[in-house]
Amino acid sequence: MHIPRLIPAAICLAFAAMFASPTPARACGGFFCDTGRAVNQAAERMIFSRRDDGSVTAVIQIQYQGPAERFAWLLPVAGNPEIGVSSDLAFARLQRATNPVYLLQTRVVGRCSDDAVPAPPGPTDAIIRLDESDAGRAPEPPPVRVINHGTVGPFDFVVLSVDPSVSEAAQVAVEWLRANEYVIDELGVERIGPYLEGGMNLLAFRLTKGNVAGSIRPVVIDFGPGLASIPIRPTAVAAVNDMGVMVWVLGPARAIPVNYRALELNEALLDWLNPERSYDALVTEAANQAGGQGFVTEMSGPSRPLAEVIFGAGERERWEALRASPSNDVELVGAVVRDFGTFDGMRDVLEGNVPLPAGVSVDALLGCVSCVNLDPDGDGAIEGFDRAGLFAAMDEQVMAPMEATRALFDRDVTVTRLYTTMSADEMTLDPSFDFNGDLGSVDVLRRAERVIECDSSTTRAAAPWRVLLSSGGVVRGQRNRWPFQVGDGSMPANVRIRRMGTEGEGDVLVDNREAISSALASHNRTIPRAGKLGGSGGCAASGRGGSSASALVFLLLGVSLRSPRRPTSV
C-alpha cells in the first residue's frame, strides 16, 4: 500500500514554535570573469518574531504529499495560542533576499601566452504513516479536554489538553484524534509523550473537507512571552539525513542559539568556484564537528527592508486599482490571475467564486487564463460570478496573510537568519534562541579576490592563482579546480565553535585557526609560482610587487579565517 507522508521540508510532528519559559548570480562568458553565487538551500523554514512585550509569533512552513484526506500535522504548544495562515510565496521571497552570496572577483597580473585568445568557457553561473486498520474502533473516552478548535484558511484545527498524570498521555491524545477523524498512527507517539507529560498541549491540523493537498499553507501561531524554541525531537521520526533547518529570528538585537553551538565556517574549505555545490556539505561537516547541534549565522541586520521584499507596496496598489476598476467580469478575472495567480490561496478563491466552463479546472485557469473561454456570449459577463465575493475572499485569504507576514518585518528590529543541517540521531535537544546586543551585523555578501599569476610560459587556464579571503587567509590553486573538498580531511570545517550568551562574544570551545593556517601553508607550497612553470618568460608573481608581496601572502596565513560548526567532543 502506498503510504503518503510529510516530506522533510515540512516537519510533520511538530516543527513549530514552542517557547521555553523564563548579488544575484549572473552568467559569465568565461572562467576568468567575476562570479557571484547565491547558495540557496532547501530546508525546513520558520520565522520567529518577538514583540516588545516579549510575546512571540511563529510562522512555520508545511509541505506534504499524499491524499488531502490523510493530511494530519501535530505539534506541541504551550497554552492556547492564536492560529492563522501565511504564505509559501512570502517564505520564497524572504529566502531569496537573505541567501548568502559568495562573490569571487578576479584580476590578472602579468601576461599569459594566450592573452590574445578568448578564454575557454567555464562555470556558469515527522513522517506520519497512515494506518486505517483500526479506523473504525471506538476508543474509550480519554481524559482529554478541548481548549480551542476552529477553522483557519484551508485547515481545521484543535488544541488538546491531556492530563499529564495519565499513563501514556500521547497515546491517549492520538486515540482522541483518531476518533475525531484525524488520521494518525503510532509513529511518533513516543516522541510527543515527553512534551505532554511536561504539561504542554497538542495542536493538530487537518485539511477541511473539499480542500486539496495543494491548499496547504504555512501556519502562524501567536504565543505569549518566552524564548523561541523548536521542538525538534518529534521531528526525528520524519527526518532524512542532514536535513536543513532554516530559521529567521526577529527581535531587539542579533539572535543567538542558546543551547546549540555557534559555528564559524572555514571558508577556505568552501569551493569558491562553485559555492552553491559545496556550501551545504560544508555546513553539514561543520555541524557534525559540533556534535550535530550548532547553527551558522548567515545574515543579521535591519528587518524593515525585507518587508517590501515579502509584500511590496506596489502589489497592494495593484490590488486596490483592480477593486476600483470598471472592468467587466472576464477582464477582472484575467487581471487577478495574471497579477496574483502565484499567491497562496488563489486556487481556493477561484474555486469558490469563479464559475468555470464544464471540463475546465482551476489549474488550467491559473496556467493560462487567456486559454480559457470564460465568456461564450462575448458580452464580458460570467454567469454566476460574484464580484463582491471575489474581493472579500481575496482580501481574507490572499492579501491579509501576506500583509501580516510583512508586518512582522516592517518595524525597527533586527532579523537574523540561522541555518544548520541535522540527522535524526542528532535531534535530541530542542534548540532555543535569544538575543545578544553586543554582536554586530552579518552581511549576506561574502567577498574574495582571485589573482591569476600569468607569464608567457603558460596559458591563463593553466596559470597558478591565489584567492585572498576577506578574513586574511590565502588559498593557492591552479586551473579551474578548488584544491580542497569538504570531507577530504585536509582541514577542519569550523574556524571556531562558540557557546553564546546574551552578552559578549561567547566562549570559544574550539579554535582551529592554527590548524587551518598550517594546512594552508603546507598546501600553498605545492603550487608553483609564475615564472617557474617552464619557459623563460616572466612576470611578477603578485600584482602588488613581486617576491616581497609573495612573502606577505605567507605572513597573512596566520590571520584568522572565519565562521561556523564543531568537533564531536564539544
> Residue 143, SS3?
coil
Percent of the chain scored above 70 by pLDDT?
A: 79
346/89 Cα distance (integer angstroms): 12
48/220 Cα distance (integer angstroms): 10
Helix (H) / strand (E) element for 561: namely: none
Q: Pick the closest to residue 269 from 4, 44, 556, 471 (CA basis).
A: 471
DSSP notation for 354-392: ----TT--HHHHHH-GGGS---TTSSS--TT--HHHHHH
Q: Are 75 and 61 in contact (CB under 8 A)?
A: no
Q: Pick the closest to residue 470 from 268, 274, 283, 296 (CA basis).
A: 268
- Relative to beta strand 44-50, strand 243-251 is parallel
Q: Is the previous residue joined to 233 through a cis bond, with omega within 30 degrees of 0?
A: no
pLDDT at residue 534 above 60? no
143/157 Cα distance (integer angstroms): 19
Cβ burial of 133 (10 Å; 0-12, 13-18, 19+) is exposed
487/6 Cα distance (integer angstroms): 30
Where do we find the cell 516537519?
A: 11
Q: Rounding to the nearest 10 degrees, give the CA dihedral for residues 312, 316, 319, 320.
A: -150
Residue 562 falls in which region: left (phi positive, over 0), alpha (psi -120 to 50) or beta: beta
> How high is the pLDDT of residue 187?
60
Lowest mean pLDDT among 193-207, 293-307, 421-435: 193-207
Q: Are 163 and 171 in contact (CB under 8 A)?
A: no
Render the burial of 113-132: b for 16+ CB within 10 Å, e for the rest.
bbeeeebeeeeeebbbbbee
464/478 Cα distance (integer angstroms): 4
> Residue 111, SS3?
coil
> How high is the pLDDT of residue 59?
95
Strand stretches in 94-226, DSSP E: 101-109, 144-152, 155-162, 201-207, 219-225
Return the bridge partners of 106, or none. Answer: 450
pLDDT at residue 369 above 70? yes
Instruction: Give the tens place of pLDDT for each residue, 49-79.
Output: 999 899 999 999 886 777 888 888 888 888 8
Q: Are 292 and 500 in contact (CB under 8 A)?
A: no
Q: Rg of the chain over CA atoms, in angstroms?
A: 28
Instruction: Give the tens place of pLDDT for each residue, 463-495.
Output: 999 999 988 899 999 988 999 999 999 999 999
251: cell is 527581535
DSSP notation for 304-335: HHHHHHHS-HHHHHHHHHHHH----HHHHHHH
Q: Are 44 and 246 in contact (CB under 8 A)?
A: yes
Who contacts 274 (Cβ-Cβ below 8 Å, separation ≥6)?
Answer: 37, 123, 482
Which one has a higher pLDDT value, 121 or 513? 513
**Average pLDDT for the chain:** 81
204: cell is 493538530
- Residue type for position 108: V
> How high is the pLDDT of residue 188?
65
Q: Rounded to 5 degrees, what angle do the CA atoms 562, 563, 568 make?
A: 125
387: cell is 464580484
Instruction: Give the tens place of pLDDT for each residue, 384-428.
Output: 898 999 999 999 999 999 999 999 999 999 999 999 999 989 999
Largest interatomic CA distance in the chain: 92
Q: Is the model's pTM score more than 0.85?
A: no
Q: Can you give the residue ranges of every domain in the chain?
A: 308-409
Which one has a higher pLDDT value, 532 or 59? 59
Looking at residues 136-165, what average pLDDT do you find?
78
Which one has a higher pLDDT value, 438 or 535? 438
> How high is the pLDDT of residue 395?
95
Q: Are 519 and 493 in contact (CB under 8 A)?
A: no
130/72 Cα distance (integer angstroms): 9
pLDDT at residue 520 above 60? yes
Other Cβ atoms within 10 Å of 325 Cβ, number: 11
99/269 Cα distance (integer angstroms): 19
DSSP notation for 17-82: -EEE--------SSTTS-EEEE-----EEEEEEE-TTSEEEEEE----BS-GGG--EEEEESS--E
Percent of the chain scored above 90 by pLDDT?
A: 51
> How high is the pLDDT of residue 35?
60
487: cell is 570531507
Q: How many residues does the chain have?
A: 570
pLDDT at residue 256 above 70? yes
Q: Is the dihedral of CA 278, 283, 286, 291 positive or negative?
A: negative
> Residue 301, SS3?
strand
Looking at residues 334-347, what average pLDDT do you find?
93
pLDDT at residue 134 above 50? no
